[in-house]
Amino acid sequence: MRPIIGITCSRLVGGSWGTYSPGYFMDYTYDAYSRAILTCGGAPLLVPVAQNESSLEGIVERLDGLVLTGGPDIHPRFYNEQPRPGLGELDADLDVTELAIARKAIEADLPVLAICRGIQLLNVCMGGTLYQDIPDQVKDSISHQQKADKGTLTHTVQVEDGTLLHRLLGVETLWVNGKHHQALKDVAAALKVAARAPDGVIESVEHPGKRFVLGVQWHPEGTWEKDPHSRRLFSAFVSVAQNSPDRRGA
């Protein structure tokens, strides 16, 4: 039986019901996440924003793994800061849902793969903080907002020796496809830095005390079909979820 992998959704305002009706929120995420999970052996299942504590507990109990996806900026109130001028679009309801499901997944030792916004949310949910805008707050930073297709690898990261990321990929230097203007600032105490960009910006963290909790600032869902390192991230994640000792029916 394929492991069930939850994939969090963002929201956008969609078309109206009719001429005199307002637009409505629509849950969405890019299908590249689902296709990567499916191809690597998992059963993708989208998790919409409208949730409460009880519904999230029920979802986490039924999942074998969780992907925290990309999306808008995280509201700085969740890491006790005031907004800076470079802060982008916010969706506080999305923040509440994702912070809650991330905490529950980590408490349950569920395998977690956190991507772009996901790595930032992972850090915040565990007590860390963020740079709200890299160009404004990180001196001499490289461009982290690539002006290229998501399938294009645009800059390198240095992978830390002895990390899960290093064991999975077996490389010290990795080309990635970043598109973000926020990044981890103060790393949560339970997390370990696994990779940095040439300017020192944190590009990956992991939780050494869990079976598989790995965050990457880049977008492997955009490159997994051609880039073996991106595919390896999804394959390893799904494999851990598949082999969880407490899986239903195991």
Out of 40, 116, 155, 207, which one is annotated catalytic? Answer: 116
Percent of the chain's residues with pLDDT above 90: 90
Residue 248 lies in a domain: no
Q: How far apart are CA 57 and CA 188, in angstroms?
A: 24
Residue 142 has a pLDDT of 94
* 8 Å CB contact between 116 and 123: no
Out of 144, 180, 181, 219, which one is annotated catalytic? Answer: 219
Residue 211 lies in a domain: yes
Q: Check pLDDT > 70 for residue 249.
A: no
Torsion of CA 167, 191, 241, 158, to 10 degrees: -30
Strand (E) or helix (H) holding 196 = strand 192-196
Number of structural domains the chain divides into: 1
CA distances from 189 to 137, 202, 207, 215 (A): 22, 15, 10, 15
Residue 125 a catalytic site member = no
Coil, helix or strand for 162? coil
Task: Write out the residue range of the structural domain in which residue 238 sits.
Answer: 4-242
Q: How far apart are CA 207 and CA 22, in angstroms?
A: 43
Summarised one tens digit per residue, pLDDT across range 58-113 is 999 999 999 999 999 999 999 999 999 999 999 999 999 999 999 999 999 999 99
Residue 207 a catalytic site member = no
Q: How far apart are CA 157 and CA 176, in angstroms?
A: 7
Residue 219 lies in a domain: yes
Q: Name the phi and psi angles at 211, rounded to 5.
A: -60, -45
Residue 155 a catalytic site member = no
* 8 Å CB contact between 124 and 74: yes
| 3-class SS shares of the chain: helix, strand, coil, % to 5 | 30, 25, 45
pTM: 0.95
Please, which residues bridge with residue 205 across strands? Answer: 193, 215
Nearest in space to 234 (alpha carbons), one of 108, 71, 79, 67:
67
Residue 249 lies in a domain: no
Q: Check pLDDT > 50 for residue 216.
A: yes
Residue 136 lies in a domain: yes
Residue 105 has a pLDDT of 98
Residue 188 lies in a domain: yes
Q: Check pLDDT > 60 for residue 45.
A: yes
- Name the average pLDDT for the chain: 95
Residue 49 binned pLDDT confidence (cut-offs 50, 70, 90): very high
Q: Check pLDDT > 90 for residue 19.
A: no
Residues 16-43: what's their mean pLDDT?
Answer: 91
Residues 195-219: what's their mean pLDDT?
Answer: 98
Domain CATH for 73: 3.40.50.880
